[in-house]
A = this chain, B = another copy of it.
Amino acid sequence: MSSIRHHCGLFGIVNHPDAAELTYLGLYAQQHRGQESAGICTAGGQNVQRVAGVGLVTDAIKQAELQKIKNSMAIGHVRYSTTGSCSESNVQPLWVSAAIGEAAVCHNGNLVNAVALRKEYERRGHIFTTTTDSEVILHMLADLEYREQADPLASVLRHVSGSYCILLIYPDRIEAARDPSGNRPLCLGRIGESWAVASETNALDLVNAEYIRDVEPGEIVTLTRRGINSRHFVERQRCKPAYCIFELIYFADPSSQVFEESVYLVRRSMGAALAREAPADADLVIPVPNCARCAAIGYHEQSGIPLGRGFTTNHYVGRSFIQPTQTIRDLTVRLKLNPIRGSVEGKRLIVVEDSVVRGTTTRGKMQSLRKAGAKEIHLRVASPPIRHPCYHGIDFPRREELIANEREVEEIRAYLGADSLAYLSLEGMLACVRDQGHHCTACFTGEYRIPIDDAFQKNVFERDQLKLFDSRGRPAHADS
């Protein structure tokens, strides 16, 4: 699967002399969650400082700047990649000075009522300097109405809808919050006297932090040099979990735990379920690189059909690749993947994909394998057909670009060029995860567990017409 823009990744740490550097590492471990930009805000004493830039973590954040920072508290953010240009103004964390003092926020998810809230604040005279939906949270926090509440952040969060994990840094603390549906992952870890918070546990692993637990849906955890404190802004029993199943299918790193279960094991189970649901008489199971390897292992184990390798990957794919002339333009599809003739020639293949979005890349891979001599190709997709938009942070293409939109499986098979095609059933998929009934599967079913107001839905569908926020060249839906 290749055409989904990734999510964002968050990291934060308190009470560590190398807070900025560990945050850098924590972002680096979560680079797969966003390649467009990276930023770190640190705090200590009265101020909040910021270093940030566009590109990968190693490009966006200069070592020299990083090492000058002596603060013992930091939050950081990596932002998903887009194909087009990216605005420096939207790079997170977003720093502000306001009645609450200096602060910065970073955010993973999508506030479905951000447009409405923003319009209200604009009407009241506030100004917005980015096109991210995170900005509205800072306006609310700075708003006298909320400031006067007993727990301003809790009040604010009770008034935003959508999916989000949020880190806020103040001169004296970090606040980490997860929406009542728990749609996006957020976990807590500890290194000695320091506490860390991250989107995925692999970031904790890299900085040698012990994974303690997830931040719960509807919970705010405050991290200070004295340790952590917890409170719920929505009572536990009123939180209706809607964990994004796509984190488990595709986004998260297989070495991570997400929603308190192993990403690897879930994917392997899905592959095994797929083998049970849609067996095929074949010589070899091969994963489509690089994402479907875990599901392919499951299919292989379940079916007993040997697991092989169909492609080699060029790891040096550069962002500055030459613009080829017309003559050689058609060569460029092979730049990243080369089929292994010795492996696939004359073989009946079961090719395992984690998911299929637009289908163009998958189709190219089918053609490559054919050309390398594959005798049969049985394409197996370890998740159901994607037929609905996501309002919670996944940047699927528009509905009409989805290969499964209003197409039957047979039509899709013919387009992709496989000899047979099967998707994992919804039930099969759900049987592989813990806490069944606690996941959002809207992209497959169209049933949105998190309420969306009509204006937002309209916005998502018509975003290319409306372009509400895109004055700086960023898509209007501006997830972060």
Assess the A318–B25 pair: CB atoms within 8 A.
Answer: no
Interchain CA distance A189-B131 in the complex, whole Å: 34
Closest to A119 in B: B99
Closest to A315 in B: B315
Assess the B97–A125 pair: CB atoms within 8 A.
Answer: no
A330 CB, min distance to chain B CBs, angstroms: 8
Q: Write out the residue numbers on chain B whose beta carbons fall within 8 Å of the beta carbon of A297.
A: 306-309
Residue in B102, B122, B262, B311 whose CB lies within 8 Å of A341: B262
Closest to A171 in B: B471
Assess the A471–B255 pair: CB atoms within 8 A.
Answer: no
A interface, by DSSP: helix, strand, loop or mixed?
Answer: mixed
Closest to A78 in B: B316
Assess the A102–B471 pair: CB atoms within 8 A.
Answer: yes
A76 CB, min distance to chain B CBs, angstroms: 13
Assess the A470–B47 pair: CB atoms within 8 A.
Answer: yes
The answer to whether A325 has its CB under 8 Å from any CB of chain B is yes
Closest to A66 in B: B322
Interface string of A323-343 (1 = CB under 8 A from B): 111011011001100111111
Interchain CA distance A29-B325 in the complex, whole Å: 18
A222 CB, min distance to chain B CBs, angstroms: 21
Interchain CA distance A143-B127 in the complex, whole Å: 9
Assess the B18–A129 pair: CB atoms within 8 A.
Answer: no
Interchain CA distance A438-B116 in the complex, whole Å: 50
The verdict on A255 contacting B95 (CB below 8 Å), with A21-B325, A320-B59, A331-B208 known, is no
Q: Which of A285-311 contact B (CB under 8 A)?
A: 290, 293-294, 297, 300-301, 306-309, 311
Interchain CA distance A130-B67 in the complex, whole Å: 23
The answer to whether A65 has its CB under 8 Å from any CB of chain B is yes
The answer to whether A254 has its CB under 8 Å from any CB of chain B is yes
Q: Chain B CB within 10 Å — which of A22, A63, A127, A300 has the most?
A: A127
Copy number in the complex reads 4
Assess the B59–A318 pair: CB atoms within 8 A.
Answer: yes
Residue in B87, B130, B322 whose CB lies within 8 Å of A63: B322
Q: Write out the residue numbers on chain B whose beta carbons fall within 8 Å of the beta carbon of A339.
A: 255
A75 CB, min distance to chain B CBs, angstroms: 14
Stretch at the interface among A49-57, A358-366, A401-409, A415-423: A49-57
Interface string of A97-117 (1 = CB under 8 A from B): 111001000000000000000
Stretch at the interface among A159-167, A199-207, A234-242, A456-464: A199-207
A62 CB, min distance to chain B CBs, angstroms: 9
Assess the B49–A328 pair: CB atoms within 8 A.
Answer: no
Assess the B253–A316 pair: CB atoms within 8 A.
Answer: no
Assess the A97–B142 pair: CB atoms within 8 A.
Answer: no
The answer to whether A351 has its CB under 8 Å from any CB of chain B is no
Q: Write out the residue numbers on chain B whose beta carbons fall within 8 Å of the beta carbon of A314.
A: 28-29, 31-32
Residue in B29, B125, B139, B330 whose CB lies within 8 Å of A99: B125
Q: Write out the residue numbers on chain B whose beta carbons fall within 8 Å of the beta carbon of A35.
A: 316
Q: Write out the residue numbers on chain B whose beta carbons fall within 8 Å of the beta carbon of A22.
A: 328
Q: Write out the residue numbers on chain B whose beta carbons fall within 8 Å of the beta carbon of A50.
A: 87, 89, 471-472
Interchain CA distance A94-B472 in the complex, whole Å: 12
The verdict on A49 contacting B471 (CB below 8 Å), with A316-B28, A318-B56 known, is yes
Interchain CA distance A52-B91 in the complex, whole Å: 14
Interchain CA distance A17-B325 in the complex, whole Å: 11
A125 CB, min distance to chain B CBs, angstroms: 4
Assess the B205–A334 pair: CB atoms within 8 A.
Answer: yes
A384 CB, min distance to chain B CBs, angstroms: 23
The verdict on A126 contacting B125 (CB below 8 Å), with A57-B316, A323-B63, A341-B255 known, is yes
The answer to whether A147 has its CB under 8 Å from any CB of chain B is yes
Assess the A49–B472 pair: CB atoms within 8 A.
Answer: yes
Assess the B125–A144 pair: CB atoms within 8 A.
Answer: yes
Interchain CA distance A410-B70 in the complex, whole Å: 45
- A95-B472, A127-B139, A297-B306 known; 17 new pairs, CB 8 Å cut-off, are A21-B328, A28-B335, A32-B316, A50-B89, A56-B316, A96-B127, A97-B471, A98-B126, A98-B127, A123-B144, A127-B138, A254-B343, A255-B312, A255-B339, A257-B341, A264-B309, A300-B306
The 3 A-B residue pairs whose C-beta atoms are closest, nearest first, are: A262-B342, A58-B318, A264-B342
